[in-house]
Amino acid sequence: MQELIHLGKAAQCAAQKLATLGTDTKNAALLAMADALVSHTEFIMSENEKDLAAGRAAGMSVSLLDRLALSPERIAAMADGIRQIAALPDPIGEVLQETTRPNGLKIDKVRVPLGVIAIIYEARPNVTADAAALCLKAGNAVILRGGKEAIHSNAAIEKVMLEAAVAAGMPQGCMALVKDTTRDSANFLMRMNEYVDVIIPRGGAGLIRAVVENATVPAIETGTGNCHVYVDKDADLAMAAEIVMNAKTSRPSVCNAEEKLLVHKDVAAEFLPMILPRLADAGVEIRGGECVRAIYPTATPVTDDDWKTEYLDLIIAVRIVNDLETAIAHINEHGSKHSEAIVTGNSENSRKFLDEVDAAAVYVNASTRFTDGFEFGFGAEIGISTQKMHARGPMGLSELTTIKYVVYGTGQVR
Amino acid sequence: MQELIHLGKAAQCAAQKLATLGTDTKNAALLAMADALVSHTEFIMSENEKDLAAGRAAGMSVSLLDRLALSPERIAAMADGIRQIAALPDPIGEVLQETTRPNGLKIDKVRVPLGVIAIIYEARPNVTADAAALCLKAGNAVILRGGKEAIHSNAAIEKVMLEAAVAAGMPQGCMALVKDTTRDSANFLMRMNEYVDVIIPRGGAGLIRAVVENATVPAIETGTGNCHVYVDKDADLAMAAEIVMNAKTSRPSVCNAEEKLLVHKDVAAEFLPMILPRLADAGVEIRGGECVRAIYPTATPVTDDDWKTEYLDLIIAVRIVNDLETAIAHINEHGSKHSEAIVTGNSENSRKFLDEVDAAAVYVNASTRFTDGFEFGFGAEIGISTQKMHARGPMGLSELTTIKYVVYGTGQVR
């Protein structure tokens, strides 16, 4: 693990320099990195082809090959993403609070970078560009540990970006890709407390679990979404149907997609015949208990395991509930604290739902699909935190920072 | 570990109720808890006597016995601490940010409780009252795992406080002391991700390390302070001497005490003879390298290990540095990112120090001893975070909260 210790030391050293780099230098470097990606399209594509060839030889599925594949358009889109990050306000240096104490001490609470951020991710090479740009803009050094399927693509992107960054005034070591893609390297990185300040896993439930289990570096858990839409008895049912269709079918593989539908008993007989055939027509498998199947007989019987499961697929489990309290209790018991919605015209009920449901984002009369850094107006997103510590929900630039108390004295002692 | 799972479930259930409890109810309950401690002084003292007897039988040191001992005055002080917490503003419900998106979605970022907080601590029973009151005021349920030395005292305090809290409208399960004080119970608690949102260790370096190593629950590392005072060549040396004396000797056993003194070479020959005899007179052991011993021959030779060590005792290691850059590099290499001070009249040098030293609190011309929730004006403190995630430096009530995005729609889909 000498490679990792070497990268860690270099990153720590770079982080100290990045912390005091001006906004203009950081932005110029980001723009240079974006331009470099475009001007090296051919090189990146040829390295990507090595990964694709290896993937095809290993029998990788068509959808995974598609996620891995780069094209001039996709490279241009990565570059545009970096340009957008350059255009965002710099969070660093913001004074969040100023206090003058009775003894004359002036205490400023100032936003500073976290330091060294490690990102562990899976197949998609665009994460390399995206995550690095976000970390660097917030003044952090970044250690990237991507999956072995994308190693040539990731290494090409890193090489091109790092050269451009350094030429534009960023320190050597500001970004580094871990070339060792074994599980050992990931595990070692998770325990490099001396050099890494925060670790963020981006990927499937297995990766997240491995980080939570093994990391001694403070970690931000991201992305598991077992999201519910609850249709209240006072719902506008036409609106509810649009919300459910959107939340379930617009992009079923993402964490903010709906996985469960809860319907108040008083409107179930009217609403389920409206929505379930539409979902089925869109290819969604409906799962439900006896009460649901009494209304919609072709539903698959639901099991206890279903309620905790994030399908990430065209499947929905449906439950008829007696009242709002039961819906809230069901969500708080089975949900993953990601995004939860109520559809209702009753403001007392929506208030209760918004107050009592424990999740990063709670909605009234809107689709859960909006839980996203761009949709929330952050201009970028490094992931969606499903833990409560440090960051919750979509994480933008300011979630990649910490604070420092800067204290001005005139000789005060205690 | 059935006891812990039972406490965890009860705490989670209580946390849901606490999250929506009004400020008035919380404050009334806190005041009732304070009164109950005082009115049950005799009971608490008699339980405390059991711990003291066991401690004496086990040969506990006088200073540890003193930390363990309760008196009517100490119980009254605990009660006053709780009353002060009741008087603080309630952080819960504060809207930190309001956004209306182009699609009409209104997004409020609202401060909410963390949920269930576990505190693992060592001998002092006053932590039981103090930590519980802070957690409850911020709407959190709290699971307390104190040391076995104080088990009877802790159990008595918990019993009295919980009865008063429940009588005043707080839910059962809102606070609980773990009666099993084995290492196994602590390790199990650190991995109870299903029921515990955040874990905070309060104690010595061994405890903190155990939590960092073993916890899968998100943890906040607290309290290790290898703090430096750097006396610049442009320092007011009389001021520097007062600051060093205060930082080193006013309370050497606490984390914000000075452990290291760095002095610019141009003022060493004048400053060291001013300060080192004064420190020695106050009982401080001076450690230094050859250059220091050339000026102050009775200093003990310093070893490499000294620079990383938090003595928590009347010992100081002294180094003469060639310039400000060397001082900053020394601190960033050896410090624990807690509290670091420069004494200088040169504003360019202080700016560089404040910007480049990576620590929770950085000072110019003041003692490091001010890093404390009360001294910072937070009105309370649950500990001092030395990590960068979630909270950094003294943690008050708002560090015991997280946020929730509350989204108001009118049928928006994506």
Q: How far is CA B147 from the centre of its chain?
A: 17
How long a stretch of residues is chain A? 414
Q: B166-172: which pairs have CB atoms within 8 A and are 24 or more residues apart?
A: B167/B32, B168/B25, B168/B28, B168/B29, B168/B32, B168/B33, B169/B21, B169/B25, B169/B28, B169/B29, B170/B14, B170/B18, B170/B21, B170/B25, B170/B26, B170/B29, B170/B136, B171/B13, B171/B14, B171/B17, B171/B18, B172/B10, B172/B14
* Whether residue A382 has pLDDT greater than 90: yes
Nearest CA to A124 among A152, A155, A146, A144? A146
A60 phi-psi bin (left φ>0, alpha ψ -120 to 50, beta other): beta
Whole-number pLDDT of residue B203: 86
Task: Report the sign of the C-alpha dihedral through residues B246, B250, B255, B258, in that order.
Answer: positive
Residues of A in contact with B354 (CB under 8 A): 406
Give alpha helix (H) positions in B138-182.
151-167
**How much is the pLDDT for B117?**
98
Q: What is the tens place of the pLDDT at every residue in B197-231?
A: 999 999 888 899 999 999 999 999 988 899 999 99
Least trusted range by pLDDT, from A292-301, B116-125, B347-356 = B116-125
Contact criterion met (CB below 8 Å) for B232 and B324: yes
Q: Give the pLDDT of residue B379.
A: 86
Q: What is the mean pLDDT of residues B325-338?
A: 97
- The residue type of B116 is V
Residues of chain A with C-beta less than 8 angstroms from the C-beta of B213: 216
Q: Which residues of A touch B414 (CB under 8 A)?
A: 246, 250, 367, 369-370, 375
Residue with tokens 């007062």: B242
> Which of A387, A392, A409 is facing B366, going by the closest CB pair?
A409
Residue partners of A367: CB distance under 8 A and separation at least 6:
A243, A246, A247, A250, A258, A341, B409, B412, B413, B414
Residues of A in contact with B411 (CB under 8 A): 236, 239, 242-243, 365-366
Q: What pLDDT sits at residue B237?
A: 98
- Inter-chain contacts counted by CB atoms under 8 A, chains A and B: 203
Please report which confidence band the pLDDT of residue A189 belongs to, taking 50, 70 and 90 as the band edges: very high
Mean pLDDT over A316-327 rounds to 98
Q: Is A361 on the interface with B (CB under 8 A)?
A: yes
**Which is nearest to B289 in space by CA: B303, B279, B275?**
B303
Is a pLDDT exceeding 80 seen at residue B123? Answer: no
pLDDT of residue A380: 84
- Give the pLDDT band (50/70/90) at residue B122: confident
Closest residue, chain B, to A212 (C-alpha) = B216
The mean pLDDT of B36-51, rounded to a whole number, is 98
What is the model's pTM?
0.94
Tell me the H-state helices in B89-150: 126-137
* Residue of chain B nearest A406, judged by CA positions: B362
Give the model's pLDDT for residue A205.
84
Check: CB of residue A372 under 8 Å from CB of residue A360. no
Nearest-by-CA chain A residue for B244: A413
Mean pLDDT of the B151-166 span: 98
Tokens of A186: 């990931």
**pLDDT confidence band for B63 (50 / 70 / 90):** confident
Tokens standing for B136? 């409850």
Search chain A and give the residue with CA nearest B19.
A356
pLDDT in tens, A254-305: 999 999 999 999 999 999 999 999 999 999 999 999 999 999 999 999 999 9
Contacts of A360 in chain B (CB under 8 A): 404-405
Q: Which residues pair with A141 in a beta bridge?
A: A116
What number is the average pLDDT over the span B249-255? 94
CB atoms within 10 A of CB B90: 18
Give the pLDDT of residue A233.
Answer: 98
Tokens of B321: 């540095």
Residue A63: is its pLDDT beyond 90?
A: no
Q: Tell me which residue of B192, B151, B145, B175 sits closest to B33, measured CA to CA.
A: B175
**DSSP string covering B338-375:** SEEEEE-S-HHHHHHHHHH--SSEEEEEE-GGG-STTT
d(CA A117, CA A195): 9
Q: Is the pLDDT of residue A214 over 90?
A: yes
Span B66-93, mean pLDDT? 96
Q: What is the pLDDT of residue B223?
A: 81
Q: Which residue of B has its CA nearest to A389?
A: B390
List the 107-166 stretch of A: residues with Cβ below 8 A of B.
107, 114-115
Give A100-130 pLDDT, tens digit per residue: 999 999 999 999 999 999 999 987 899 999 9
Residues in chain B closer than 8 A to A404 (CB atoms)? 359-362, 392-393
Q: Do A361 and B213 touch (CB under 8 A)?
A: no
Give the closest residue to B363 by CA, choosing from B388, B389, B393, B387. B393
A319 to chain B, any CB pair closer than 8 A? The answer is no
The predicted pLDDT at position A379 comes to 86
> What are the pLDDT digits (tens) for B275-311?
999 999 999 999 999 999 999 999 999 999 999 999 9
